[in-house]
Amino acid sequence: MARVIGGLTTSHIPAIGNAVPREKELVDDPYWKPFFAAYPPARTWLQKVKPDVAVVIYNDHGLNFFLDNLPTFAIGAAAEYRNSDEGWGIPTIPPFQGDPELSWHIIESLVHDEFDITSCQEMFVDHGFTVPMSLFWPNNSYGGIKTVPVCINTVQHPLPSPLRCFKFGQAIGRAIESYPKDLKVVVLGTGGMSHQLDGERAGFINKKFDLLCMDKIVNEPEVLTRYSIHELVRQAGAQGAEFILWLAMRGVLHPKVTKIHSSYHIAVSNTATGLLVLENSVA
Ligand code: DHB
Ligand code: FE
């Protein structure tokens, strides 16, 4: 049977997508050094556990979906996912391999479980997906793994609540662990932490709330599922609502997890960056 072996979270800021190809020359750069210094333990863990598939929970920012057509929950079921110029100047990187059979299993299981998602047989993936993949697997090798993109709307209100996203993650976990192939699966939750890119509070960062989230998500995620979306926006900023992607990731994992690594750093671009590596307990 397929097994969820763990989960990772990381910010997905486009500026990182530009820095990643220059990581070797930036390791001693005062701006980038503390950011890149956090990633080797996550990469080492991935090399040790050798996942076969990454289920990547992210949000699209206008590349594949736009305001006229914006599903709450969408899942890719393609053999390959490409990215494309989003206007941030990030290099376009090689396509990601899909796993249509696993995607369809997850889609069927979710609809059966009362999550009416949008299935996508063609899908572009934006920086919410590509930046974490290129950070965790440098040199665009992606560790030879297959991917399943899971896209949640964090852009146009109404957004799904933290609790709904956590339950969505739990349903994805049930789906993966009922898949008959022996696969090791990691789940990524991208985006977050606190940030607001526009409006009166542009540049808003809430360190106290970020650290609470990073702490509670490990073994008391239900504390965070009690926030409403509006309270989350108040605490984390309009784009900090991307934290619902982390909660969906956490829902996929088992109730008990072991924290392998974490890092919190202010700031890259306009946001606090957060990294977590959580290993699943044995079921
Ligand atoms: C930034 C952060 C994001 O989450 C994003 O999607 C785009 C830009 C930023 O801080 O620059
Ligand atoms: Fe974002």
Estimate the crossing angle of helix 243-252 against helix 162-176, to 10 degrees: 30
Residue 254 corresponds to which tokens in the numbers above?
Answer: 């088992």
Domain span at 166: 3-280
Q: Residue 186: its pLDDT value, please?
A: 98
**pLDDT tens-place string over residues 195-229:** 999 999 999 999 999 999 999 999 999 999 999 99
**pLDDT tens-place string over residues 162-193:** 999 999 999 999 999 999 999 999 999 999 89
| Cβ neighbours, 10 Å, residue 243 | 29
Q: Whose C-alpha lies nearest to ligand 1, atom 8?
A: 13
Question: What is the four-CA torsion angle of 14, 20, 21, 27, rounded to 10 degrees?
Answer: 140
CATH no. for residue 222?
3.40.830.10
Domain count, the chain: 1
**pLDDT tens-place string over residues 236-261:** 999 999 999 999 999 999 999 999 99
Residue 12 is a catalytic residue: no
**Residue-wise DSSP of 199-213:** STTTT---HHHHHHH
Distance 195 CA to ligand 1 centre (A): 8
Spell out which residues line ligand 1, taking CB within 6 angstroms.
Answer: 12-15, 61, 191, 195, 197, 239, 269-271
* C-alpha to C-alpha distance for 55 and 187, rounded to whole angstroms: 5
- Asked whether residue 89 carries a pLDDT value surpassing 60, the answer given is yes
**What are phi and psi for residue 158, nearest 5 degrees?**
-80, 135
Residue 127 is a catalytic residue: yes
Q: Contact at 8 Å (CB) between 56 and 8?
A: no
Q: Whose C-alpha lies nearest to ligand 1, atom 1?
A: 13
Distance 213 CA to ligand 2 centre (A): 17
Average pLDDT, the chain: 96
Q: How confident is the model at residue 263 (pLDDT cuts 50, 70, 90)?
A: very high
1, burial (CB in 10 Å: exposed 0-12, middle 13-18, buried 19+)? exposed
- Asked whether residue 281 carries a pLDDT value surpassing 90, the answer given is no
Q: Whose C-alpha lies nearest to ligand 1, atom 5?
A: 13
Distance 6 CA to ligand 2 centre (A): 23
pTM (2 d.p.): 0.98
Q: Contact at 8 Å (CB) between 165 and 244?
A: yes
Q: Contact at 8 Å (CB) between 5 and 186?
A: yes
